[in-house]
Amino acid sequence: MSSPGLTIRPMTTSDIPVGQRLREQAGWNQSDDDWRRLLAWEPDGCFVGELDGQTVATATVTTYGPALAWIGMVLVDAAHRRRGIGRALFEHAMAYLDRRCIATIALDATPLGKEMYDRLGYVDAYGLERCVGVIPEVASVRGESLDGGARPLRSSDLPALLALDALAFGADRARLLRSLAGDHPDGCTVVERGSDLVGYLLSRPGARGHHVGPLVALDELAAESLVRETLRPLGGTRVVMDVLLPNVHAGALASRLGLEPVRPFIRMTRGAPPPPADLDLLYTSAGPEIG
């Protein structure tokens, strides 16, 4: 069903308070900074929908070169749902990406939104699970340091971090990772063995909990060291991890931390087959709005 009178325009930073109101209605976790980054990464690809001069909906896109893009933050005011507004914003974002000749469009759907995406030609890739809990005092892995150890990220680590991430994610998200690391350096950790970087974790504060991800590691021990060292200063803090279900170690790690699954997501794609990812290396996502 279409919504007569709907106007779609580019989003600006002045729309962030309205975006946050819609985000709070939905119970999502994005912060003001998350909106600002989305606008900085794709200033022409973030949109709002208006009815009678009132902003009632949002949608954003994030591109990873010509191979892949993500659609996220599809939000509609509770008083205006089931009128086709969310679909209109979503199709507007898709048209923007089609004009850019993006090969694959991806998204992380809630079960509620999946029906619409099915009708628009999106197919399931795999599942994710949002795990949430309050972190107690966190000790080092087995009370010991690893060879090389988990330590804070340094700027000199970025080339190796970006190479490892491209291997795991399958597309170049250097712009995104540099931005997240630069904005929240205290939440970034790496593990080295010898001279090799074998894992990294970026984290950041959110509206409803500290977001733990993306997390990429060559093995389970490195992943656990990264999480425990990153969360050590955050005892008593509510944390959020969106674990990738194909990686069986990711869910087990969340469980050991005392986190409980609260919401499923379905990763879906449309267009060409997505760039090949190594799901044994990917533990948590950067967020459902950006993949």
CATH of the domain at 74: 3.40.630.30
Is the residue at 245 inside a domain? Answer: yes
Q: Do residue 150 and residue 280 come from a single domain?
A: yes
Range of the domain at 62: 6-102
Q: Do residue 79 and residue 167 come from a single domain?
A: no
Coil, strand or helix at 211: strand
Q: Name the pairing type of β-strands 260-271 and 104-109.
A: antiparallel
Residue 5 phi, psi dihedral angles, 5° rounding: 90, 0
Q: Do residue 201 and residue 259 come from a single domain?
A: yes
Q: How many domains does the chain have?
A: 2
Q: Do residue 90 and residue 142 come from a single domain?
A: no
Is the residue at 122 inside a domain? Answer: no
Q: Do residue 139 and residue 249 come from a single domain?
A: yes
Q: Give residue 145's pLDDT.
A: 44
Q: Is 168 left (phi over 0), alpha (psi -120 to 50) or beta?
A: alpha
CA gap 75, 29 in Å, rounded: 13
CA gap 284, 250 in Å, rounded: 7
Count the Cβ atoms, other than its own, within 10 Å of residue 101: 7
Q: Do residue 75 and residue 15 come from a single domain?
A: yes
Q: Give residue 58's pLDDT.
A: 98
Q: Name the pairing type of β-strands 104-109 and 68-76.
A: parallel
Is the residue at 124 inside a domain? Answer: no
Q: Which residues pair with 271 in a beta bridge?
A: 104
Longest alpha-carbon distance in the chain = 63
Is the residue at 278 inside a domain? Answer: yes
Q: Give residue 3's pLDDT.
A: 72
Is the residue at 291 inside a domain? Answer: no
> How far is CA 40 from each of CA 13, 148, 173, rounded to the nearest angstrom?
10, 35, 14
CATH of the domain at 168: 3.40.630.90
Look up residue 16 and give its two tokens: 């962030």
Q: Give residue 144's pLDDT.
A: 43
- Residue 82, amino acid: R
Q: Do residue 271 and residue 144 come from a single domain?
A: yes
Q: What angle do CA 150, 173, 201 make, to 5 degrees?
A: 15
Is the residue at 120 inside a domain? Answer: no
CA gap 133, 125 in Å, rounded: 27
Along the chain (291 residues), what's the average pLDDT of each consecutive run of 10 residues?
83 98 97 98 98 96 97 97 95 98 97 94 98 77 51 96 98 97 96 95 98 97 95 92 98 95 97 97 98 97
> How far is CA 58 from each of CA 8, 21, 107, 153, 189, rounded to the nearest angstrom?
9, 11, 15, 34, 33
Is the residue at 209 inside a domain? Answer: yes
Place of tokens 């209605």: 25
Q: Do residue 137 and residue 260 come from a single domain?
A: yes
Q: Give residue 149's pLDDT.
A: 82
Q: Give residue 140's pLDDT.
A: 44
Q: Do residue 39 and residue 179 come from a single domain?
A: no
Residue 277 phi, psi dihedral angles, 5° rounding: -105, 155
Is the residue at 111 inside a domain? Answer: no
> How far is CA 76 from each of CA 12, 27, 138, 260, rounded to the nearest angstrom?
17, 12, 39, 28
Q: Give residue 17's pLDDT.
A: 98
Q: Do residue 76 and residue 196 come from a single domain?
A: no
Q: Do residue 279 and residue 234 come from a single domain?
A: yes
Q: Do residue 156 and residue 274 come from a single domain?
A: yes
